[in-house]
Structure formats: structure tokens, C-alpha cells
Chains A and B, each alone.
Chain A
Amino acid sequence: NAGVTQTPKFQVLKTGQSMTLQCAQDMNHNSMYWYRQDPGMGLRLIYYSASEGTTDKGEVPNGYNVSRLNKREFSLRLESAAPSQTSVYFCASRGLALDEQYFGPGTRLTVT
């Protein structure tokens, strides 16, 4: 099992460009999450999906959109990137028991 995978690992964008971060999990988990982590800080929730077909805003949703494509995949889109979105983005998933979250390796995004 690969667990939670994320692509790409690194990305550099210019201000105003768009991109989609991909996340997939092979653990048959219902819930999936997108976080951002800024230097020296904890995780802030951008969006989450409690189950296939549903998405909800987290603490910092502005400037982002998400799609829960199917049970396995949850993508995060930046429509018009801004320097304030420079961060490391983590995807996570959680099973039906709602215990621990499983994390992907992260995407390091720089917006210039």
C-alpha cells in the first residue's frame, strides 16, 4: 500500500498562475483533508471532505478550491496564485473510525 500520495513534490509559480495539487489514498478512507504549513507553524486546515461527494471549508479556504473526484482522490486548486500562498501543502486521510490521520509527503509551493 502506498498510503497517501501527493503530486507534485515541488512547484514554483508566478503570481496569477493557476495549478492543481493532486492527492490520492489507497486505504479506503472516507475523510480527506488539505492543510498548509508555514515555516515554524502548525497545520492550518484549508478544506476537507468528510465523505465522497461532500466538501467543506476549513480555517483558511480563501484563494483555494477543492474537488473530491472519487473516494480515493481529493485535489486542491489555486486559481490565481499569490505570494501569500507560498507554503508546504499536506494532504491527509482518515478512516471511518475517525482516529488518526495519515499524511502525504507534502508539496512545497513557492509563488514569486
Chain B
Amino acid sequence: SQQGEEDPQALSIQEGENATMNCSYKTSINNLQWYRQNSGRGLVHLILIRSNEREKHSGRLRVTLDTSKKSSSLLITASRAADTASYFCATDYRDSNYQLIWGAGTKLIIKP
């Protein structure tokens, strides 16, 4: 079963606002990854944060990791209409044997 949990399930904001989505997980990880999926298409990798990192940036994306709370957040700043998509977290667990464990995703809608 999916072990990553994301919230909110859906988020609708105005263009230009910031969007924050969260991911929680259950056991020790090697890394945690965020992916974007545009409607009906394959997933695209956005950013990876390792278990010994606390924060990482990539352009307008900021990811934080709190291993004590077993949670991560993805912040998209200055949102654009093109950011409308579903966002998934995936965890690489220490005993995962090559697998990633996926959350159910957050559907983000940016209103013009």
C-alpha cells in the first residue's frame, strides 16, 4: 500500500501566490523526491532531498525535510498557470529494494 501521504489533496490558488504541499512518511529514508504530472502525461522529476539535508532549492521550488517528524514540504513561489498539475512525493526507504513508495498526490490549480 502507498505509505506516503500528501496534503492537501487539492489546492486552488491565484496566479502569483505561493503554493505549499506536504508529504508525510513512515520509516527511515535514503531520500525523498517530488514529481509533477501534467494531466494525462508521465511524471517529471522536480527535486530530490537526501536524508541528511534539511532544505533544497531549485528555481521557484523549495523543499524542506524534517526527519524527526517524517515529513517534507514543497513550496512553489510566485505560481504561474503552467504550474497547474498534480504533484507527488516519493520516498526511497532504506529497505525498499530499489522501489520508490508514492503518495496519492496533490492536485494544484492556478487560477489566472
Binding site for B on A (CB under 8 A): 4, 31, 33, 41-45, 48, 50, 56, 58-59, 88, 90, 92, 94, 98-106, 108
The residues of B that contact A92 with a CB separation of less than 8 Å are 43
Which residue of chain B is the closest to A35 with respect to CB atoms? Answer: B102
The residues of B that contact A98 with a CB separation of less than 8 Å are 30, 92, 98
Main secondary structure of the interface of B (DSSP, over half): loop
Which residue of chain A is the closest to B2 with respect to CB atoms? Answer: A42
Query: Residue B31 contacts which of A50, A99, A105 (CB distance < 8 angstroms)?
Result: A99
Question: What mask results when residues 83 to 95 of chain B are scored 1 for a CB within 8 Å of chain A, else 0?
Answer: 0000010101000
On whether the beta carbons of B44 and A103 are closer than 8 Å, the reply is yes
Interface status of B41 (Cβ within 8 A of chain A): yes
On whether the beta carbons of B102 and A43 are closer than 8 Å, the reply is yes
Query: Residue B33 contacts which of A31, A48, A88, A100 (CB distance < 8 angstroms)?
Result: A100
Main secondary structure of the interface of A (DSSP, over half): strand
Known A103-B42, A103-B43, A105-B42; judge A50-B48 contact (CB<8 A).
no
On whether the beta carbons of A42 and B105 are closer than 8 Å, the reply is yes
On whether the beta carbons of A42 and B102 are closer than 8 Å, the reply is yes
* Cα A4 to Cα B105 with chains together (Å): 22
On whether the beta carbons of B48 and A56 are closer than 8 Å, the reply is no
* Cα A110 to Cα B32 with chains together (Å): 32
On whether the beta carbons of A101 and B98 are closer than 8 Å, the reply is no
On whether the beta carbons of A50 and B98 are closer than 8 Å, the reply is yes
Known A31-B98, A42-B102, A98-B92; judge A104-B45 contact (CB<8 A).
no
The residues of A that contact B100 with a CB separation of less than 8 Å are 101
B47 → A minimal CB distance (Å): 9
Question: What mask results when residues 1 to 20 of chain B are scored 1 for a CB within 8 Å of chain A, else 0?
Answer: 11010000000000000000
Which residue of chain B is the closest to A6 with respect to CB atoms? Answer: B42
On whether the beta carbons of A42 and B104 are closer than 8 Å, the reply is yes
A97 → B minimal CB distance (Å): 10
Interface status of B40 (Cβ within 8 A of chain A): yes
